[in-house]
Structure 1
Amino acid sequence: MLSSKGLTVVDVYQGWCGPCKPVVSLFQKMRTEVGLDLLHFALAEADRLDVLEKYRGKCEPTFLFYAIKDEALSDEDECVSHGKNNGEDEDMVSSERICTLAIIKPDAVAHGKTDEIIMKIQEAGFEILTNEERTMTEAEMRLFYQHRAGEEAFEKLVHHMCSGPSHLLILTRTEGFEDVVTSWRTIMGPCDPNVARREQPESLRAQYGTEMPFNAVHGSRDREDADRELALLFPSLKFSDKDTEAPQGESSTQPRLKITDLD
């Protein structure tokens, strides 16, 4: 099994403690999403295998990772590579990606619409670089929506965004769809779900929103806002601010993502 191409994850456990069941279900879900031929998962009891002797007697989660590269893939096709930056080891996924922030809000998550919305996002041609479920703090949301602090609905909006788990997505698009920020805002539709149902009935807010501020999804207003929001909610991710050659008619100062922390 360890010679299988792709990534193999081994959960090393003790017979008196048992495997890490939450992680087992997590990896099973990931395997379905990534592909059965790319991600493999196995359980190994330390007391039964001599090669795992050094892991015996420890009541702590232990995972071993074995990666076998497919020689048919070019270096450009690799998703994960290991390098060094300032003397520290790093895992880096994707060199530079033009991206924006999308949030599936607590109302849509509570109604069980997360998977449907994610499916529609992917069907619309977006690639999801990161999908993290998180309950936001009040401090985060006050800073996140600071540009709306003077509005009457500000407190209600902050309370709603902290009321339960959201899904935070980092989106990019395939070649030919460079303006991911505008594309995502188009898919979302007008901010008010009632307006969205009149003007863009196929939009996400028309289908999954109810009333303000329960409009199902959030998207960055522009490229500058996307950069700010991503830096605020994903402080461990690094963004490249250097100018790079851009397609004709496209700004070269778009948010370009470098993921350097996979924790």
Structure 2
Amino acid sequence: MLSSKGLTVVDVYQGWCGPCKPVVSLFQKMRIEVGLDLLHFALAEADCLEVLEKYRGRCEPTFLFYAIEDEALSDEDECFSHEKEDGDDEDAVSSEKACTLAVIKPDAVVHGKTDEIITKIQEAGFDILTDEERATREAEMRLFYQHRAGEEAFEKLVHHMCSGPSHLLNLTRTEGTEDVVTAWQTLMGPCDPDVARREQPDSLRAQYGTEMPFNAVHGSRDSEDARRELALLFPSFKFSDQVPEAPLVESSVQPRLRVNALD
């Protein structure tokens, strides 16, 4: 992630305190406004990383800034670099094909339906590039569903998505002529499970959904939405039209932003 083009801001925290939640929300909002390819935000627990040992025991939030440069940055007091040979990045995933986001929601996960749904996804001709099961954060979901912020059900939807782990999938498609976004929308079925059972009884929402917002799965509305959602939930994923990164990135820089009483 530190090798991504643009500016990366790392919130360094300790387990006893946790990351600064208001700042997480702020940076996620800024990232959408400035551009997903230009601003990146990450969390790093100092207790788990030896290179961040010097930041342990602090009582205020600490932020580190990293930026792509033509030449390696250096600092006499502190400098550590992460080199990429021949542009390779073992943690990055990329695809030349169109992709879309699929989310198996907490209601389906808690009922043990994840494996069944994934099997049906693969049987329908989708390839899974990346999958991850984790609990999403409230600030993350508020940004994720920002286009629905004015709706009456917005708070209930955000609460549901943060109520337990979700299974996040990055899908592409190798079979058929239908584009991956449309194909995934078709497999999911209508948003309301009751409508899905009447109109598309073989769809995933008809089979695994119960009622709104417990409709088992989520999918991107269109290709632009898919790009935004994938960038938000899979920040290391590289889109096919992205320019290769510079061969070397970064130094730990010492402008340190001190913010008081945010938590």
* TM-score for the superposition, normalised by structure 1: 0.57
Cα deviations by residue, 1:27-69 (Å, 9 ceiling, x for unpaired): xxxxxxxxxxxxxxxxxxxxxxxxxxxxxxxxxxxxxxxxxxx
SS at match of 1:120: helix
Letter in 1 for 2:116: E
- Aligned residue in 2 for 1:147: 147
Q: CA deviation at 1:136?
A: 0.3
- Aligned residue in 1 for 2:164: 164
- Aligned residue in 2 for 1:130: 130
* Alignment gaps of 5+ in structure 2: 1-83, 244-263
- Aligned residue in 1 for 2:56: none
Q: CA deviation at 1:234?
A: 1.0
Runs of 4 or more off by more than 3 Å in structure 1? 92-95, 175-178, 240-243
Letter in 1 for 2:144: F
In terms of Rg, which structure is larger? 1
Whether the 8 Å contact between 1:126 and 1:173 is mirrored in structure 2 is yes
- Aligned residue in 1 for 2:86: 84
- Aligned residue in 2 for 1:198: 198
Alignment of 1:222-241 (within 5 A): 222-241=222-241
SS at match of 1:97: coil
Distance 1:126 1:83, change over 3 A: farther
Q: Report the Cα distance in structure 1 between the residues aligned to 2:97 and 2:183, rounded to whole angstroms.
A: 15
Q: Report the Cα distance in structure 2 between the residues aligned to 1:124 and 1:223, rounded to whole angstroms.
A: 19
Q: CA deviation at 1:191?
A: 0.2
* Alignment gaps of 5+ in structure 1: 1-81, 244-263
- RMSD over aligned Cα atoms: 1.9
Q: CA deviation at 1:148?
A: 0.2
* TM-score for the superposition, normalised by structure 2: 0.57
Q: Which has the higher strand share?
A: 1
Distance 1:190 1:95, change over 3 A: closer
Q: CA deviation at 1:241?
A: 3.2
Cα deviations by residue, 1:129-150 (Å, 9 ceiling, x for unpaired): 1110010000000000000000
- Aligned residue in 2 for 1:31: none
Whether the 8 Å contact between 1:84 and 1:90 is mirrored in structure 2 is no
Q: Report the Cα distance in structure 1 between the residues aligned to 2:93 and 2:134, rounded to whole angstroms.
A: 21
Distance 1:175 1:160, change over 3 A: same
Q: Report the Cα distance in structure 1 between the residues aligned to 2:105 and 2:93, rounded to whole angstroms.
A: 26
RCO higher in 1 or 2 (8 Å CA, sep ≥ 6)?
A: 2
Letter in 2 for 1:149: A
Letter in 2 for 1:136: T
Letter in 2 for 1:90: D
